[in-house]
Amino acid sequence: MSGKQSKRERKRQRELERDAARKRERQRTIFTGIVIGVVVLIGGLLIWLSLPPGPDEVADAGDEPTPGSTASPGAEDRPVACGAQAPANAGEEKPTFDEPEQVLDDGVDYRAVVETSCGRVVLDLEEETAPEAVNSFVFLAQQGFFDGLEIFRNATGITALQTGAGGNDATWQIGYQLADELESAEAEGYPPGTVAMANSGPNTAGSQFFFVYGEGFDRAISSGVLQPTYTRFATVAEGMDVLEEIALVEVGGERGETPQEVIYMDSVVVGGPEIVEQAADPESTDGPAPTTSPTPTPTD
């Protein structure tokens, strides 16, 4: 081979090597793009499955639900679950508040009686480990805020029923945010019967909360899909069968998580242990008595 031919051969070899390198780089770029796309898609889906949008998203949403929101179809388009009737205050406009009044009394072991379309659920509130969340819950219950709201979402993948939104969708905000209280969650996880605050990131819980009715939430924690970043503030003392019945209501909608029958919280009453006995006695004329009756401080 002459020197000229050898030079051409070396040049051709270098060009082949450059072409091969460019091809490998393109393949790496395409593969990286695919991986990033899948991670973003899955990450976004998981966040949607477990959290309401943050305040900035709500501010941009206007009067229309944002894409992927959990806004439910109108209650008038769906029957009420379990053969029940809609409560008189269903669909009424709910107030927002600058902050919750401090309403907890020392030494009271708080309970909540939640009357739903499908039956009664009794909660033992965790005022010792989650005093901020419990205080907010008790304050809102005393204002009648929860009465007539829907359990608007069943996230079957994490076995959680979400409620507590004044507009019956995850974009609604109460007007204040609570500090996280994660002692119980980090120590005990979220077994069936847990009641915890929904949030859109650290220290963003408000009025929305969820009932855990199965093992799905703890499985999501164990697998790393979710983190124990949701304040546990109550445990179901009675009524797990009611939650399980609610979970059987058919779901649909864009994300497949909107109950196709309306499930109401007819009322939520809070107080000491005596309210459970009072609620169980239909002949009682005294009725459950809240420990205090603070004046609400709604926002403008």
Q: How many CA atoms lie within 13 A of 181 on its CB side?
A: 20
Does residue 81 belong to any structural domain of this protein? yes
Does residue 2 belong to any structural domain of this protein? no
C-alpha 166/C-alpha 92 separation (Å) is: 9
More confident residue, 265 or 24: 265
Q: What percent of the chain has pLDDT over 70?
A: 68
Mean pLDDT of 177-182: 98
Q: Which residues of 57-93 are buried (b: 16+ CB within 10 A; e: fewer)?
A: ebeebeeebeeebbbbeebeebebbbebebbeebbee
Q: What is the pLDDT of residue 39?
A: 41
Does residue 14 belong to any structural domain of this protein? no
The domain that holds 265 is classified in CATH as: 2.40.100.10
Q: What is the pLDDT of residue 31?
A: 54
Q: Write the burial class of residue 9 (CB in 10 Å: 0-12 exposed, 13-18 middle, 19+ buried).
A: exposed
More confident residue, 15 or 216: 216
Nearest to 231 by CA among 264, 265, 198, 276: 198
Centre a 10 Å sphere on the Cβ of residue 54 and count the other Cβ atoms it contains.
15
Q: What is the pLDDT of residue 48?
A: 43
Does residue 290 belong to any structural domain of this protein? no
Does residue 199 belong to any structural domain of this protein? yes
Q: What percent of the chain has pLDDT over 90?
A: 66
* Cβ atoms 90, 152 nearer than 8 A: no
Number of domains composing the chain:
1
Q: Quick one: DSSP state of residue 272? A: S
* CA dihedral sign, ordered 77, 267, 201, 59: positive
Q: What is the pLDDT of residue 277?
A: 87
Lowest-pLDDT choice from 7-16, 46-55, 129-138, 266-275: 46-55
Does residue 106 belong to any structural domain of this protein? yes
Does residue 95 belong to any structural domain of this protein? yes
Q: Write the burial class of residue 149 (CB in 10 Å: 0-12 exposed, 13-18 middle, 19+ buried).
A: buried
C-alpha 300/C-alpha 285 separation (Å) is: 37
Domain that holds residue 141: 51-280
Mean pLDDT of 133-151: 98
* Cβ atoms 209, 233 nearer than 8 A: yes
Mean pLDDT of 162-188: 97
Q: What is the pLDDT of residue 33?
A: 53
Does residue 291 belong to any structural domain of this protein? no
Q: What is the pTM of this model?
A: 0.73
C-alpha 156/C-alpha 140 separation (Å) is: 27
